[in-house]
Amino acid sequence: MNDRVRVLLADDEHLIRGALAALLALEDDLTVVAEAASGPEALAMAAAHRPDVAVLDLQMPGLDGLEVAAELRHRLPECRVMIVTGHGRPGYLKRALQVGVRGFLPKTVSASDLAGIIRTVRAGGRYVDPELAAEAISAGDSPLTPRETDVLELAADGSPVAEIAERAALSPGTVRNYLSSAAGKLGAENRHAAVRIAREHGWL
């Protein structure tokens, strides 16, 4: 049974992670060897279990999926990384490819498709959801970092800095810095204009 694909699942939403683990367990050639609920835990589990494929949620506490992917590329280069996300912004896809992610797909993917993509990635292939790829091509490069993008998205509904800070697990000062930096990069006079500009370009 040495040909079984060893899989690490990392997602802070326990219900989703548990459902994925149960569905993948039905596949004869896949074995979920570890689960994680945060970025740091994903790195620890990867070091302990040395999976063939790590399936990471994009947004997790501590470190996001892309930061984990970048770390795994150096610490465990034989482990292939896939990102499964409900936030398929073009900027994320481009950065994912830059850090060596082999699969990038939405959380709406079916279990059977996910299993097939895991096999493809394990075999050295690559899979990018066609709709996400098309959006990334048309959007152009975002000047914003993933953290700036996250904070700007949280600000899109007009929430005060204190509330954004709480939701993002950041200090108010850090949130202000991110918002100021994002507005400056986009040539916006304030965060509301920055949100509008980013959305027009498909970066939010």
pLDDT at 181 over 50: yes
What six digits make up the tokens of 127? 């899979």
User: What CATH code would you report for 146-200?
Assistant: 1.10.10.10
CATH class of 5-138: alpha beta
What is the predicted pLDDT for the residue at 133? 84
What is the reported pTM?
0.71
Domain ranges of the chain: 5-138, 146-200
pLDDT tens for residues 9-54? Answer: 999 999 989 999 999 999 999 999 999 999 999 999 999 999 999 9
Confidence check: pLDDT of 140 > 90: no
Return the closest-CA partner of residue 106 out of 124, 79, 130, 70: 130
Which pLDDT tens digit goes with each residue over 52-88? 999 999 988 888 899 999 999 999 999 999 999 876 6
Q: What is the pLDDT of residue 82?
A: 97
What mean pLDDT do residues 175-192 have?
Answer: 96
pLDDT at 164: 95
Q: Maximum distance among all alpha carbons in the chain?
A: 60
pLDDT at 1 over 70: no
**For residues 149 and 86, which has the higher predicted lDDT (pLDDT)?**
149
Instruction: List, for residues 81-120, the tens digit of each pLDDT value.
Output: 999 987 667 678 877 888 999 999 998 888 889 999 999 9
